Amino acid sequence: MSASLLSFEHAAFGYTRSKPIFTDLNYQLRRGTLTVILGPNGIGKTTLLYLALGWLQPSAGQVLLENRPLQDYSRAEIGRRVSLVPQTERQPYSYTVLEYVLFGRAPHLALFGAPGEKDEQAARQALARAGIPELAGAYVDQLSGGEGQLVLIARALAQEPRVLLLDEPSAHLDLGNKYRLMQTLSDLRKHGTTILMTTHDPEIALSISDETVLVDGSGSVTVGTPAQLLTAESLSRLYHLPEGALEIRPSHPGIVLRRL
């Protein structure tokens, strides 16, 4: 088994021909790591996740999942290997949390199938792993933002994926919920789940990532450990900040915006 779970080989993609987002994307997601994709708004972080999911296909090059091109997999096969936690989600009807998490069993079921007892066990296990077993009977439209995010994570875990993709999971969370979310993700990684997530918050990258991917609009990405990449200079460049605006204190991991 190779260490690389997902790999991008010379992948190119753009929503329009004139404005490519990636021209030569080369990156390998290593098994068992928690990797954070960092970059300014609108630069292509979510696009990278969608390429990893197979929702978007590269116009050149390829994306490999376990050394096989992503387009060679059926949708259900992808669904059993890769799962997505979207940033927000439309919930037009009021499901119970358990019903909602059971949707994650869809790739394991036949087209006309419906979840059975085994699937319910898997869903309850996913709820437990996401740290919210007590919410099974609650209604999804009555949850707080933090709980809602954990429900989406539980649904993704119910897919029993090899890699979990998360799109800005902390975007709408307050400090306490952000902390609990990061703790959950860190626990999942400890138990062997490979995680690839986007964020616009460098502090999250610094505090939990094994590896950091910088998307800077150059058409490619820079990959390294947080210590290598998250320097005041590189972050200032990434977010177009004036010189000296950022300070990174190695003794107390954290990024501080200078007081104005």
Partner 1 sequence: MNDDASLLKAQPERTQKSWVWAVLAAVLVLLLVLSVFLGRYPQAGVLRIDQLRDNLLAQRLVVNVRIPRLLTSLLLGMVLAASGTVFQMIFANPLVEPGFLGVSQGAAFGAALAIVFFSASAALVQGMAALFAFAGLGFSYLLARRIRVGSWLLRLILAGIAVSALFSAGLGIVKYLADPLRQLPEITFWMLGGLASITWTKFLAVLPACLLGLAVIFAFRWRLNLLALDETTAFSLGAAPRRERLVMMIAAVLATSAIISVAGMVGWIGLIIPHIARRLVGSDTRRNLPAAILLGGAFGVICDDLARMLMAGEIPLGILTSLLGAAIFIILMARGLGKGVRA
CB of 198 closer than 8 Å to CB of 168: yes
Burial 84-97 (b: 16+ CB within 10 A, else e): bbebeeeeeeebeb
Contact 96, 79 (CB under 8 A): no
Closest approach of partner 1 to the CB of residue 54, in Å: 8
Nearer to partner 1, 15 or 258 (CB): 15
Instruction: Give the nearest distance from C-beta 80 to partner 1 in angstroms.
Output: 7
Q: How far is CA 205 from CA 56, 124, 160, 162, 190, in A?
A: 25, 29, 25, 21, 16
Q: Choose among 13, 51, 58: nearest CA to 29.
A: 51
Supply φ then ψ for residue 60, to 5 degrees: -145, 160
Residue closer to partner 1 by CB (options 163, 246) is: 163
Nearer to partner 1, 111 or 257 (CB): 111
Distance CA 104, CA 122 (A): 9
Between residues 76 and 248, which has the closer beta carbon with respect to partner 1? 76
Nearer to partner 1 among residue 61 and residue 133 (C-beta): 133
Compute the least distance from the CB of residue 177 to partner 1, in Å: 21
Q: In angstroms, give the least distance from the CB of 120 to partner 1.
A: 8
**Nearest residue (CB) to partner 1, 112 versus 243:** 112
What is the smallest separation between the CB atom of 32 and partner 1, expressed in angstroms? 19
Residue 95 CA to residue 186 CA, distance in Å, equals: 28
CB of 114 to partner 1, least distance (A): 4
| Residue 217 φ/ψ region, left for φ over 0, alpha for ψ in the -120 to 50 degree band, beta for the rest | left
Residues of this chain that bind partner 1 (CB under 8 A): 50, 53-55, 75-76, 78-80, 82-84, 86, 89-96, 98-99, 103-104, 106-107, 111-115, 121, 124-125, 128, 133, 136-137, 139, 141, 156, 159
Where b means 16+ CB within 10 Å and e means fewer, 163-200 reads: bbbbbbbbeebeeebbebbbebbeebbeeebbbbbbbb
